[in-house]
Chains A and B, each alone.
Chain A
């Protein structure tokens, strides 16, 4: 029997990083922690390799690189190589055996969520971080389309930047440790991020939650001023909240995503209520405890489902934050002089 190359998310843990890439391994770990993630499956690096092998694309690429010789180190040649190699990959159809397996998983997903041709997102999941290899296709519907997009994600391992990176690191050109995450599209009512540390001050006693209507991309990209909540970790009470005017949001469009206007009556309303905020904080603190370090997480509330089933998590990773500000250290130093005055 051929090697297994598609996995259910619940079969994965962070140790599977090399097999399915960081994003998928992370999603598996999240499922394991009891975080709700959008239903879906993961395509492993083995899937990529098998495709390259069986279709002969791998051989063609090797040959191309060999012929190119030293010239591949020139940037013009790399641009050409990227275009050519992506052409080779995208020009191949998926072998029948693989196609069959992929369709079985997709059918199962459609059945689970109770929707025929359910819309999914296909995201690249690299085992090592590599710049320029971040292709994501949203709102993918139907088997045929899914198959095409997966191949495109594989092809995205050969952007000019990715090629240059691999040459620089002395990595083999035809290999690409790339996995693919296939996840049901959440019909996002509101979405955003939570950081279990105040990024500016490094204050570890508070959690920051920011959100907007629609998809989380508007919050992550910083294009709009989101609603912002500061919550005390111990008491879980809201220390401060800022409800901003949010004129625009990101939604799914026919081919991917795009900005639209927020209906006037919703622009000045909070995009999540207190109960939802509390649920976000509760889970984020559990995850922080699990990893024993502050987390940077992305969440989505689904339009069609009921609380708390409508809260989905799409990402958690160690938070980047600046160390405690000088002022606080100086304040502590000042306090320390007090012990000499008693």
Chain B
């Protein structure tokens, strides 16, 4: 019998798809390692929808969002360019009106969406999945699908609008003050702001303080990470601690260990990653240095603002200040949207799918609750109401085997039509003027300065200079290895990495732009970040002594 495509209609098809676009890029930040089929279906279907929705709602003059394809667990994307000059002009007129809400009431806009989406999550969580009947379980899953689609609409509309303002600000800084977004002075202008992710980190730090005050340190410091919870529960104080910690998890723990996947437990199910962060704060000791750091960083911001303002002609300062305030929200948005949108929605997807999975396993449609991640929604619907009537195990088996194969054979970074090379493909990305492509995906190309005699060249994500032992981290499971004073080397980082920024002295990432996670968080913690070095994780080994000079975009390996 025929097995369905994972993402029907959006599986990569070389013959057809190269006719549409000669270059398809792998989304390495989100789809390496490869996605499980169900997660891939959610992402490709709705990230794609959200980008086109956002670009259309804003009527972006040059780009209509991105198209996505699914290929062996990887997400491949290409840009949908506006084809005629006449259409560009038409869209431009509309855009000038459509962007106004961002300029006039940014906070109102963003807070409104946060409220809307949190309301949807609350609705989904109302259903007790263990006691619900099959109709309600299926209905909950359908509502989760709708929530995911809505999440991506909000996500991409907000992201396009926000980054458009940021890019204009960056251009204006270049024109009026002679600085761009790889310059340390520019970074000083956009840092020193609190956000929801940092607030969660602070709660974790407060728990570490409490653990120390109540003599619970040993439960954290001795023995395996996985045992922290049971060791705590061996004492009255520890039980009280875990009770409060679980309450905190119910509030803020709706997030994934790996941001863009659903096959690992949320913090609510398994608080180990969160407890690991508490442990790291305990090992490090001292205060919550982000706050002291933020005070310094905001002072530096005020100095930078003054410096830049001196260069801006007086009659331009009014709107320039307004634009600056808007651009300063980009970093906050970048971090907060991960918390409220991606992480939370993915946690909801896992919750709802596992609810079905458990029922199906009980009624015999699949062997194990987590097998549900190897099915896509059409298949879920097939057996949704009467799982006792359908045996879905043959699909699960086949998909599982395929998925294992995907994990063993990495997807290529791009699919290119014959005769088309990567440089040409990158040029198309840049020409699109797509704000997300420019600020998150591509970034600035590093300038090689032979006179520096550096081992790697990148761009400045956050200013500063630091030296220390390198720690190469390839995925979230290894974050526990990070030691105080390390220089983190990674392909890229995401919100679950934020707490370790309080321990490390510097960051080197293979890819990234000035609104990538590593850059934003590095600036808030006041540590240097060099990005777009491309070969950092390949060339540097853990334990090697390295020096990062972010101001110059240079990385030195001191003991080769």
Contact = CB atoms under 8 A, between A and B. Distances in A.
Interface of A: 201, 203-206, 232, 234-235, 237, 239, 323-324, 328-342
B559 to A, nearest CB: 43
B319 A331 contact: yes
Interface string B117-142: 00000000000000000000000000
A201 B171 CA distance: 25
B318 interface: yes
A322 B482 CA distance: 51
B309 A342 contact: no
B204 to A, nearest CB: 29
Nearest to A205: B317
Interface centre among B63, B165, B318 (most CB of A within 10 A): B318
B104 interface: yes
Given A204-B321, A205-B317, A329-B104, A337 B61 contact: yes
Interface stretch (B95-103, B328-336, B370-378, B506-514): B95-103
Nearest to A331: B319
Nearest to B103: A329
Given A203-B318, A232-B314, A234-B310, A337 B95 contact: yes
Interface centre among B97, B104, B172, B309 (most CB of A within 10 A): B104
Contact of A328 (B99, B319, B433): B319
Nearest to B321: A205
Contact of B318 (A201, A323, A340): A201
Interface in B301-327: 306, 309-310, 314, 317-319, 321-323, 326
Contacts of A331: 319
B167 to A, nearest CB: 5
Nearest to A335: B168
Closest 6 CB pairs of A and B: A340-B61, A203-B318, A329-B103, A205-B317, A340-B62, A333-B96
Interface string B80-117: 00000000100010011101100110000000000000
Nearest to B172: A335
Contacts of B433: 339-342
B180 to A, nearest CB: 13
Given A332-B103, A333-B96, A339-B433, A239 B61 contact: no
A234 B172 CA distance: 19
Contacts of A338: 168, 171
Contacts of A201: 318
13 contacts: A205-B309, A234-B310, A237-B314, A239-B314, A328-B318, A329-B100, A329-B322, A332-B322, A332-B326, A336-B96, A338-B171, A339-B171, A340-B92
A50 B281 CA distance: 56
Interface in B185-210: none
A330 B62 contact: no
Contacts of B97: 333
A338 B317 CA distance: 19
Contact of A336 (B168, B321, B322): B168
Interface in B45-97: 60-63, 88, 92, 95-97
Interface of B: 60-63, 88, 92, 95-97, 99-100, 103-104, 164-165, 167-168, 171-172, 306, 309-310, 314, 317-319, 321-323, 326, 433, 435
B303 to A, nearest CB: 12
Given A232-B314, A328-B319, 11 more contacts: A205-B317, A205-B321, A234-B306, A234-B310, A235-B314, A328-B318, A333-B96, A336-B95, A337-B92, A340-B95, A341-B61
A213 B62 CA distance: 59
Nearest to B432: A340
Contacts of A203: 318
A330 B96 contact: yes
Contacts of B323: 332, 335
Contact of B164 (A204, A235, A339): A339
B103 A333 contact: yes
B394 to A, nearest CB: 50
A342 B168 CA distance: 11
Nearest to B92: A337
Given A234-B306, A338-B171, A333 B314 contact: no
B11 to A, nearest CB: 32
Contacts of A339: 164, 167-168, 171, 433, 435
Contact of A234 (B92, B103, B171, B309): B309
Contacts of B317: 205, 232, 234
A142 to B, nearest CB: 50
A331 B322 CA distance: 11
A232 B321 CA distance: 13
A328 B326 CA distance: 13
A237 B309 CA distance: 13
B239 to A, nearest CB: 41
A339 B160 CA distance: 12
Interface centre among A232, A333, A341, A342 (most CB of B within 10 A): A333
Given A234-B309, A329-B104, A342-B433, A334 B96 contact: yes
Contacts of A232: 314, 317
B65 to A, nearest CB: 14
Given A232-B314, A337-B61, A332 B319 contact: yes
B515 to A, nearest CB: 14
A330 B165 CA distance: 13
A332 B169 CA distance: 10
A331 B309 CA distance: 19
A293 to B, nearest CB: 14
A328 B322 contact: yes
Contacts of A332: 103, 168, 319, 322-323, 326
A336 B318 contact: no
Nearest to B105: A323
Nearest to A201: B318
Contact of A333 (B63, B100, B306): B100
A329 to B, nearest CB: 4
A235 B310 CA distance: 7
A232 B317 CA distance: 9
A205 B172 CA distance: 17
Contacts of A337: 61, 92, 95-96
A237 B314 CA distance: 10
A201 B315 CA distance: 13
Contacts of A335: 168, 172, 319, 323
Contacts of A204: 321
Nearest to B171: A339
Given A234-B317, A329-B104, A324 B164 contact: no
B302 to A, nearest CB: 9
Contacts of A342: 171, 433
A205 B168 CA distance: 20
Given A234-B306, A234-B310, A333-B103, A324 B322 contact: yes
A201 to B, nearest CB: 7
A156 B309 CA distance: 50
B310 to A, nearest CB: 7
A324 B322 CA distance: 9
Interface centre among B60, B103, B309, B435 (most CB of A within 10 A): B103
B60 A340 contact: yes
Contacts of B168: 332, 335-336, 338-339
B293 to A, nearest CB: 20
Nearest to B309: A234
A332 B88 CA distance: 19
A235 B312 CA distance: 11
A206 B319 CA distance: 12
Contact of A205 (B164, B165, B318): B318
A204 B95 CA distance: 27
